[in-house]
Structure 1
Amino acid sequence: MKPYLFLLAALVPGVTPAAAQCLLCAQESTAISTARKGEMPLRIEIETRLDMGRIAVGAMGGEVEVDPVSGARRLRGDVVDLGGFALSGTVSVRGEPGAEVRVILPASVDLESGRGRTARVTGLVTDLGAAPRLGPDGRLQFRFGGRLQVAALDDGDYRGRIPVTVEYQ
């Protein structure tokens, strides 16, 4: 029998809107940005946190990927699914009706366990098209996913913040 260690990864998005005060430590997952003259401020709310679910990691390590469109979880390498719900993250944006916006996610984010170990999330992507716009009601909702890379026999409850930046084009 292969040795496996338990891993739980929940990613809590941090909200970093354009030209706004950093609110990563705020209790709520909501932020308001300043806007250019004539534009409404952008309001960003995290509806659902990205959650990779529960896995066991073996001697070779591996990765878990959550697809932003379907929310499906794919395992690669020496990992075993222990159940739980994998969820893609969901973000709601409100602002100037019909305005084009740009959504920026980091290339990677390091997560930490209570024991000081780290795991990295890469490949953060959204389900948005090339030129997203707020709807006629001034709203836009999108989902995002990514890949969690876990080292061999690394265990823990990994958590971190993903800065989500939304700005007018």
Structure 2
Amino acid sequence: MRLFLCLALFALPSAATAQCLLCAPDATKGTASTRQAETPLRIDVETQLDMGRVAVGAMGGTIEVDPVSGARRLGGDVVDLGGFSLTGTVTVRGAPGAEVRVILPATIELEGGNGRRARVTGLATDLAAAPRLGPDGRLQFRFGGRLQIAALDDGDYRGRIPVTVEYQ
């Protein structure tokens, strides 16, 4: 017997922060911090992470959405029910050329009907090691993750992913 599972994860921008002006060790960094403080970061969620529709059998399984390729991989006793999955897409705006740090949580709890819960782990982005805002003050990135599904656990699961972006 297979049960239907539908998942949607909503990225939720959290407060973007800038460096403390009083914490700058030298005047050069203080100038950069001042420029960045004058241009606050803005985070816009363009696309929500959606792992799609699947059926889960008695052995349970996993769904993984790759942030680079956008491909969805199913593992274990999970069957694709059609439709498509989406990587999450976030746009950050701020000081042109500024280096930023993007922070995603290690784990997200999803809630379904009848008090059921599921967990997404392994949230990852397609960002380079030291991301910077472009000359236009804009940076767009995609993110994905991995969902472990318990045996015969059906429902429509939803959750929020806090996305934090800080000037470096």
Q: Give the TM-score normalised by the residue count of structure 2.
A: 0.88
Listed as ranges, the gaps of 5+ residues in structure 2 are 19-32
Identity of aligned residues (%): 76
**Aligned twin of 1:94:** 93
In structure 2, distance between residues paired with 1:96 and 1:38: 7
Q: By percentage of residues, which structure has more helix?
A: 2
In structure 1, distance between residues paired with 2:15 and 2:137: 16
* Structural mapping, 1:1-169, within 5 Å: 3-19=1-17, 37-39=34-36, 40-169=39-168
Q: Structure 1: which 4+ aligned runs deviate by more than 2 Å?
A: 17-20
Largest Rg, 1 or 2: 2
**Displacement, 1:70?**
1.3
Where 1:13 maps in the other structure, the secondary structure is strand
Cα deviation code 1:81-115 (max 9, x no counterpart): 00111000000000000000000000010100122
Which letter does structure 2 place at the counterpart of 1:141? Answer: Q
In structure 2, distance between residues paired with 1:154 and 1:52: 15
Which letter does structure 2 place at the counterpart of 1:150? Answer: I
In structure 2, distance between residues paired with 1:147 and 1:158: 14
**Displacement, 1:160?**
0.3
Superposed CA RMSD: 1.2
Where 2:131 maps in the other structure, the secondary structure is coil
Q: How many residues align structurally?
A: 152
In structure 1, distance between residues paired with 2:35 and 2:140: 23
Cα deviation code 1:126-164 (max 9, x no counterpart): 000100000000000000000011100000000000010
